[in-house]
């Protein structure tokens, strides 16, 4: 049985009503599969049990891969599962100004820097680190003159979160923690000390894309009043850097419930590229929502 946060426990002890808001936030870059259905149903049923709210959010910041037909399929698949949600649905592509404002704030405080290295160059820098000590990327801003020259030349860059600056701003990461009511990939649960240094200087935005995943999801959850994040344990590590962003931006920290990942008969986790396992294909083959629930142990 799921627990609740210490704040929620205290509030309930005082007879104060505590909202329960969770969300399912797929990207419309392909068709949903069994794994998506499992995550969506867990979140929906948790909201129903708590008398709370289940939100659907469309994370469509990847304009090169997001497609309106995939978004329409998401709505159709979730409705087939018996899931309902409030409207209008928040689409990230319609709120780029929210992310830009947060990025401007972080930049003004010296917490992000422009990184002009390509993905290949970042990988090479990590591989060439002495004794293999560098397993995550960390760097620093370029000298002002060199940065201005590269900007004038139109070079592409990414905005990276500076762990060094963040650590200085907060006086260390020792006081950062989040509550895990589910289970991480290695059995992690309970009050977890956040270790954002494991992710290195993560990308928060690119020159051609106004925002990247970590910044967008942290802001969306705060703006939508999400109290519980229910998602697969493959995103457990993301909670560490997201907890840091919440601290830097003064945002509330939701309770996390990471769940197991579903896998096929071959032992491989379900993925969008596996078209034979899409919910559309299963529905066309005659599978019912009830049968799917039983198959997934729900």
Q: How far apart, in whole angstroms, are the C-alpha atoms of residue 290 and residue 298?
A: 9
Dist. CA 12–CA 59, nearest whole Å: 33
Contact in structure between 38 and 289 (CB atoms under 8 Å): no
Q: How far apart are CA 44 and CA 38, in angstroms?
A: 10
Give the start-to-end residue ranges of the domains of the chain: 19-94+263-298, 96-220
272 carries an active-site annotation: yes
CB atoms within 10 A of CB 225: 13
Nearest Cα to 177, choosing from 244, 111, 236? 244
Beta-strand pair 177-180/158-161 = unpaired
In sequence order, the 6+-apart residues with CB closer than 8 A to the CB of 64 are none
Retrieve residue 100's tokens.
């830009």
Angle of the 238-249 helix axis to the 163-170 helix axis, nearest 10: 50
The predicted structure's pLDDT at residue 128: 63
CB 202 within 8 A of CB 240: no
**What is the homologous superfamily of the domain 19-94+263-298 according to CATH?**
HUPs (3.40.50.620)
Please give the C-alpha separations between residue 146 and each of 103, 115, 119, 142, in angstroms, as whole numbers.
22, 12, 20, 6
pLDDT in tens, the chain (298 residues): 234 444 554 444 444 457 999 999 999 999 999 999 999 999 999 999 999 999 999 999 998 899 999 999 999 999 999 999 999 999 999 999 999 999 999 999 999 999 998 888 887 776 665 544 445 788 888 999 999 999 999 999 999 999 999 999 999 999 999 999 999 999 999 999 999 999 999 999 987 778 999 999 999 999 999 999 999 999 999 999 999 999 999 999 999 999 999 877 777 777 776 666 899 999 999 999 999 999 999 8
Query: Cα dist. 231→116, 204, 235 in Å?
Result: 32, 21, 7
- Among the listed residues 120, 207, 268, 272, the single catalytic one is 272
Question: Could you give the residue ranges of the DSSP H alpha helices within 155-274?
Answer: 163-170, 213-223, 238-249
Q: What is the pTM of this model?
A: 0.88
- CATH assignment of 96-220? 3.90.800.10
């Amino acid at each position: 049985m799921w627990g609740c946060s210490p704040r929620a426990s205290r509030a309930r002890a005082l007879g104060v009503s505590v909202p329960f808001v969770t969300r399912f936030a797929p990207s419309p870059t392909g068709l949903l599969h069994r794994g998506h259905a499992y995550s969506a149903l867990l979140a929906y049923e948790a909201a129903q049990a708590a008398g709370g709210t289940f939100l659907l959010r469309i994370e469509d910041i990847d304009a090169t891969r997001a497609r309106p037909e995939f978004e329409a399929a998401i709505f159709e698949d979730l409705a087939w599962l018996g899931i309902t949600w409030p409207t209008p649905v928040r689409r990230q592509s319609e709120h780029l100004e929210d992310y830009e404002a947060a990025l401007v704030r972080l930049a003004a405080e010296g917490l992000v820097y422009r990184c002009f290295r390509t993905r290949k160059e970042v990988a090479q820098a990590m591989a060439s680190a002495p004794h293999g000590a560098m397993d995550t990327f960390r760097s620093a801003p370029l000298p002002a003159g060199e940065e201005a020259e590269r900007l004038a030349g139109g070079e592409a860059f990414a905005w990276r979160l500076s762990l060094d600056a963040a650590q200085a701003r907060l006086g260390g990461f020792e006081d950062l923690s989040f509550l895990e009511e589910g289970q991480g990939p290695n059995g992690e649960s309970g009050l977890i000390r956040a270790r954002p240094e494991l992710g290195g200087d993560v990308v928060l935005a690119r020159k051609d894309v106004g925002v990247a995943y970590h910044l967008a999801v942290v802001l969306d959850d705060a703006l939508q009043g999400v109290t519980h994040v229910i998602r697969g344990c493959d995103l457990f590590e993301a909670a560490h850097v997201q907890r840091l962003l919440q601290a830097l931006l003064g945002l509330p920290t939701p309770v996390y419930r990471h769940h197991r990942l579903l896998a096929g008969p071959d032992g491989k986790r379900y993925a969008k590229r596996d078209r034979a396992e899409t919910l559309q294909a299963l529905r066309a083959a005659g599978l019912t929502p009830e049968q799917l629930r039983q198959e997934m142990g729900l």
